[in-house]
């Protein structure tokens, strides 16, 4: 998984990140090209279990999950529980064109977007950026807040 130490709110925080869950890397690569100028980091996971573990660490994340026939039931179950377990998270689903007929079932389960075309990830990128911009920053410790407020604090923490 790609971590970005010292992430800015536009890149994601401990509370929210952009995570792509897929086996191959094609969707993450296409999304990185879409987000090249935004400064948003794209984290990757290779399984739903790994993705949900990352979501537990950053519960307001934006997930882009690849639908696979073998894991469709597991994905639907996790999405059905997402509203209760991670109410601040959002899920977009990407899939092979042969799975396009799953779109409305996944939208009903809570997907904010569904696409089968890697070249049309602009909407997903826009949704992710909008979501991450609205994620509140995690609470800081008192000492971190004090250092951040000092004129030289930012230079020392960099």
* Per-residue pLDDT tens over the stretch 131-158: 999 998 777 788 887 877 888 755 555 5
Each domain of the chain, given as residue ranges in start order, spans 18-157
pTM above 0.75, yes or no: yes
The DSSP line for the chain is ----TT--TTT--SS--EEEE-SSSHHHHHHHHHTTTTT--EEEESSHHHHHHHHHHSTT-EEEEEE-GGGHHHHHHHHHHHHHH-TT-EEEEEE-GGGGGGHHHHHHTT-SEEES-GGG-HHHHHHHHHHHHTSPPPPPPHHHHHHHHSTTHHHHH-
Domain made up of 18-157: CATH architecture: 3-Layer(aba) Sandwich (3.40)
User: What is the reported pLDDT for 157?
Assistant: 52
* Per-residue pLDDT tens over the stretch 62-105: 999 999 999 999 999 999 999 999 999 999 999 999 999 999 99
């Amino acid at each position: 998984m790609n971590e970005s130490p010292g992430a800015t709110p536009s890149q994601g925080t401990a509370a929210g990140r952009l995570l792509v869950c897929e086996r191959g890397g094609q969707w993450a690569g296409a999304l990185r090209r879409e987000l090249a100028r935004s400064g948003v980091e794209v984290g990757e996971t290779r399984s739903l279990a790994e993705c949900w573990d990352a979501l537990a660490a950053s519960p307001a994340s934006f997930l882009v999950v690849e639908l696979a026939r073998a894991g469709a039931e597991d994905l639907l179950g996790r999405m059905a529980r997402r509203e209760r377990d991670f109410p601040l998270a959002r899920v977009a689903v990407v899939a092979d064109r042969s799975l396009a007929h799953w779109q409305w079932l996944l939208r009903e389960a809570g997907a904010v977007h569904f696409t089968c075309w890697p070249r049309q990830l602009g909407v997903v990128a826009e949704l992710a950026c909008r979501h991450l911009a609205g994620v509140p920053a995690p609470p800081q410790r008192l000492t971190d807040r004090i250092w951040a407020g000092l004129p030289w604090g930012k230079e020392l923490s960099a």
